[in-house]
Chains A and B, each alone.
Chain A
Amino acid sequence: MPTTGLVVTIEGDEPSIAIATGVLGALAGVTLGTLHGARCPVVVETDDLAGHERVLQAVQRVSGVLACELAFADFSDVQDPAGGRVGPRREGVQHGSS
């Protein structure tokens, strides 16, 4: 269950920031902290890395989000961090061990 603490910077005036934080807060797996000017602490908690990735992308796509930076990430109970579906690497680059 990966957990991430983010700092999201939002552009615009107070009403614009309020709209953006409203959208952010409605995302599944997202918990907002107290806004500090244009910077909003955000915690993302999901069941797996792939789901985490989707939420992080959604956070960055929210209108008004200027920057999204990491403060903390925990993946201690992710079973296979290198797993997940990804395309094949170049054929022949893998080296056999025997």
Chain B
Amino acid sequence: MDRREFVKLTAMAAATAAAARLPVADAAPPASDGVRWDKAPCRFCGTGCHVQVGVKGGRVVSIAGDRQAPVNNGLLCVKGYHVGLALYGRDRLTRPMRKQGDKHVPISWDSAVDLIAQRIKKNPSGFAMYGSGQWTIPEGYAAQKFIKGGLSNNHIDPNARLCMASAVTGFIGTYGVDEPASCYDDLDAADVIILWGNNPAEMHPVLFSRFIDRRSRGERVKLIDLGTRRTRTTAFADHYLCFKPQTDLAIANGIAHLLLRDGTYDKAFVEGHCNFRHEADGKPHLFGAPMTFDAYRKALDKYTPEYVEKLSGVSAADIVMLAKLFGQRDLRITSLWCMGVNQHTRGTALNRLIHAVHLLSGHFGKKGDGPQSLTGQPSACGTAREVGTLAHALPGGRIVANPGHRKQCEELWNLPEGRINGKPGHHTVAMWEAFSTPTSGGGDIDTLWVQVTNPAHSLPNAGKLFKPSRELADKFLIVSDVYPTETTREADLILPSAMWVEKNGMFGNSERRTQQWFKMVDPPGEARDDAWQTIAVARRLYDLGVEGMRDKDGKFLFHMQDEHGHEVPVWDFRRYYGSVNVDEQLFEEYRKFSRLKHKDLAPYAEYVKARGLRWPVVQRGDGTWRETSYRFVEGEDPYVAKGKGFQFYHSTSKDDRAQIWFNPYEPPPEAPDAEYPFWLCTGRVLEHWHTGTMTMRVPPLRRAMPGAYVEMHRLDARKLGLENGDMAAIETRRGRLELPVWIGGRGAAPEGSLFVPFFDEHVLINELTLHEHCPISKEPDYKKCAARVMAVRRA
């Protein structure tokens, strides 16, 4: 058999095994012709699919769905298919470069590290790091320790602030602790799936395929799409409920109103396990104040189906239909949401209300029956939320404002008492405002280091938050990335980074699953790991005598030693991969933080063997490690006491109860008017991930979706004299762009609405979006602002 024939048979065997759902002993296809296989989670979204990566001659040459991975059962979406090619764009960054005039010129790593260290030493409190949910767990942990444990200023925030911060505050306000209680297993058991402003057919296609698979096998699964535009997902929905932007708050309250009015709420569950909560004085508050059941009922009084219909445009009959579903105890209902709920000026409130509807109706804690928020980045949960790279957070669910938490971290890090600053650092919007404001005008950030993200493209209202800094002589922007981006273009210093399987890594996905992989190929040129970059700068500061880089015994903050107890100088890249596994040492240190909030992690070696494990992961009597599918549920969660049934053991009311919140509908900060008569919504498309820096380098993906467009309704287009392909100018109060019109494409905006994807660097739609944000989570609203449209010319 020749090699081609072997490869073809391997492809057929893999496809057949996946199609037939055959149990398999081997995770990867058989080795052939020198191809070596190893596991890694996909580089792209927050689903956390595992791939098998085939390497030959130092290059990734094959990709297969990992047949032992419970998340994806051997299957991948179009982005996962191309994940190997994302490494091989022709314009990878390969050398550190410093801006001189209008050009970037190469400099040595040594000079680059020294330049950063000198700037930090000069003004440590004016230094900030901006990372992402694409940081691996060890990378984020190193950055977090460097800033909070070393520089004591807390100015570190991830771009996850822009995508899931409202989910965090929603979980904390409801359960007292972050992250979903349920998991993806729900998709295999739900009778009804309700999508709250969510388009999984494009954004989380492998999860959506579980639903398609069930339907194709004849299972009756009802899909309800609550959205502001038709998407690919809508085509599969039994009910599409199109609501006016922002009125999702009213819809959730309308369901709760009917559950109480009709007596169909789960009285036993509510009385046994829930309290009621609101923002007593009407001011936004993370924890709020208690309210009685009667006061809760009264607050919901006005959310009659007719009132909700008037606000939302969803018919009273459909509101009743939703409430009837939630009122049925024998149904299993899964709610899914992502950016539509989180990127919302009342994102925290809406997250709380979705939880509230599930708690009130008792649809919680059973397989297929519960609320499950999704994330957009591969380690938004693992790195941003669990490691705590948010400006107010510390590892393992701790916060900087809590003296006890600071003390615990100082002890675990062996730091002198008082090293960690109790004042939260700048959150994303505030950080970039400070960087874009002259120092003389109070802009207290003068050096900003960006890793693993592209803020010039992805920040909202970029003309206000990003661009001004580039005109200020004393503001210095450092960017670590793998490809040239809008942000590297404006950077004062560019650092080339290793990507995905060019380095060791760990991610944490949307269902609390921690995943690990090993480096498989070398990065190009002088590209290096982001964690190494952080450690190297920290070491240079240590050598310069900066006290914060020492623990209380005088040891380096990132002191690492080999199995013989000898210190290994991992700040020297030649020693970074050698006698120690830096990821393992960082993870084992971080793991100690994970027990306070019952997010227990297993030893690194367990993740090497597994396709991820969902925390809390606890050790059994026989020494093996057990993951947890459902939190707060007796028999599932090891921390629920026997006989309790459900136990919300981090309850904010300290009585093991979850909080059912009331939050009123509030109008958006900006809505269409006579001058700007359209709603503008932004988002992603199937082929491209976020700002397209990786997927736009993959020719098939780029050809499939080469550029951004404005999706609009046929009648709106006709009124403006626009046809498919014509150029239209989109204007908001913040900027103007020209885009081709797409009518009747894969999505369909209702009359009066526009949709523009944000992946395209040619048309930076975020120069037009709002930076108004949820007052609690500080997450901006990319999903709605007012815009106007004008015809430009015939294409």
Binding site for B on A (CB under 8 A): 1, 3-7, 9-11, 31, 33-34, 36-43, 45, 49-50, 52-53, 56-57, 66-67, 69-76, 81-87, 89-90, 92-98
Partner of B75, one of A10, A52, A66, A69: A69
Q: Are B16 and A34 in contact (CB under 8 A)?
A: yes
Partner of B85, one of A57, A76, A81: A81
Q: Are B18 and A71 in contact (CB under 8 A)?
A: yes
Partner of B489, one of A42, A71, A83, A93: A93
Partner of B88, one of A4, A74, A82, A94: A82
10 more A-B contacts (CB under 8 A) besides A7-B15, A72-B64? A45-B8, A50-B703, A69-B209, A70-B78, A72-B10, A75-B85, A76-B33, A84-B703, A87-B706, A95-B489
Asked whether B19 is an interface residue with its Cβ less than 8 Å from the other chain, the reply is yes
Q: Are A98 and B106 in contact (CB under 8 A)?
A: yes
Q: Are B62 and A76 in contact (CB under 8 A)?
A: yes
Binding site for A on B (CB under 8 A): 4, 7-8, 10-21, 29, 33, 35, 54, 56, 61-65, 74-78, 80-81, 84-85, 88-91, 93-95, 97, 103-106, 205-206, 209, 212-213, 216-217, 484-486, 488-489, 494, 696-700, 702-704, 706-707, 761-762
Partner of A39, one of B8, B19, B65: B19
A67 → chain B closest CB, angstroms: 5
Known: A37-B217, A38-B217, A93-B489. A53 touches B12 (CB 8 A): no
Residue contacts A-B, CB under 8 angstroms, 15 given: A7-B19, A9-B209, A31-B12, A36-B20, A38-B217, A45-B11, A69-B65, A69-B205, A70-B63, A71-B11, A72-B11, A73-B63, A74-B61, A75-B62, A89-B696
Find chain A residues with CB under 8 A from B78 CB: 70
For the complex, would chain A's binding face be called helix, strand, loop or mixed by DSSP majority?
Answer: mixed
A56 → chain B closest CB, angstroms: 8
Q: Are B12 and A5 in contact (CB under 8 A)?
A: yes
B6 → chain A closest CB, angstroms: 10
C-alpha gap A98/B107 in the complex (Å): 10
Known: A53-B704, A76-B61, A98-B105. A69 touches B76 (CB 8 A): yes
User: What number of A-B contacts does a CB cutoff of 8 Å give?
Assistant: 186
Q: Are B699 and A3 in contact (CB under 8 A)?
A: no
Known: A7-B19, A33-B15. A95 touches B699 (CB 8 A): no
Partner of B4, one of A1, A49, A94, A98: A1
Find chain A residues with CB under 8 A from B95 CB: 97
C-alpha gap A43/B209 in the complex (Å): 19
Find chain B residues with CB under 8 A from A74 CB: 7, 10-11, 54, 61-62
A32 → chain B closest CB, angstroms: 9
C-alpha gap A4/B63 in the complex (Å): 9
Q: Are B93 and A3 in contact (CB under 8 A)?
A: no
Find chain A residues with CB under 8 A from B94 CB: 97
Find chain B residues with CB under 8 A from A71 CB: 11, 14-15, 17-19, 64-65, 74-76
Find chain B residues with CB under 8 A from A57 CB: 704
Q: Are B104 and A96 in contact (CB under 8 A)?
A: yes
C-alpha gap A74/B19 in the complex (Å): 19
A71 → chain B closest CB, angstroms: 4
Known: A71-B15, A72-B10, A97-B95. A37 touches B35 (CB 8 A): no
Query: Quick one: closest B residue to A72, CB to CB?
Result: B14
B56 → chain A closest CB, angstroms: 6
Q: Are B216 and A9 in contact (CB under 8 A)?
A: yes
Q: Are B703 and A86 in contact (CB under 8 A)?
A: yes
A-B pairs with lowest CB-CB distance, top 5: A5-B11, A41-B15, A76-B61, A38-B216, A5-B15
C-alpha gap A82/B84 in the complex (Å): 11
A49 → chain B closest CB, angstroms: 6
Find chain B residues with CB under 8 A from A89 CB: 91, 696, 761
Find chain A residues with CB under 8 A from B56 CB: 76
Query: Quick one: closest A residue to B18, CB to CB?
Result: A71
C-alpha gap A76/B32 in the complex (Å): 11
B740 → chain A closest CB, angstroms: 13
C-alpha gap A50/B90 in the complex (Å): 17
C-alpha gap A92/B102 in the complex (Å): 10
Find chain B residues with CB under 8 A from A93 CB: 484-486, 489, 761
Query: Quick one: closest A residue to B17, CB to CB?
Result: A71
C-alpha gap A72/B65 in the complex (Å): 6
A94 → chain B closest CB, angstroms: 6
Q: Are B700 and A49 in contact (CB under 8 A)?
A: yes
Partner of A96, one of B12, B19, B103, B703: B103
Known: A66-B212, A86-B699, A98-B105. A42 touches B15 (CB 8 A): yes
Find chain B residues with CB under 8 A from A7 CB: 15, 18-19, 75
C-alpha gap A50/B76 in the complex (Å): 20
Find chain A residues with CB under 8 A from B75 CB: 7, 69-71
C-alpha gap A70/B166 in the complex (Å): 33
C-alpha gap A81/B209 in the complex (Å): 28
Find chain B residues with CB under 8 A from A72 CB: 10-11, 14-15, 29, 62-65
Q: Are B702 and A86 in contact (CB under 8 A)?
A: yes
Find chain B residues with CB under 8 A from A3 CB: 4, 7-8, 11
Query: Quick one: closest A residue to B55, CB to CB?
Result: A76
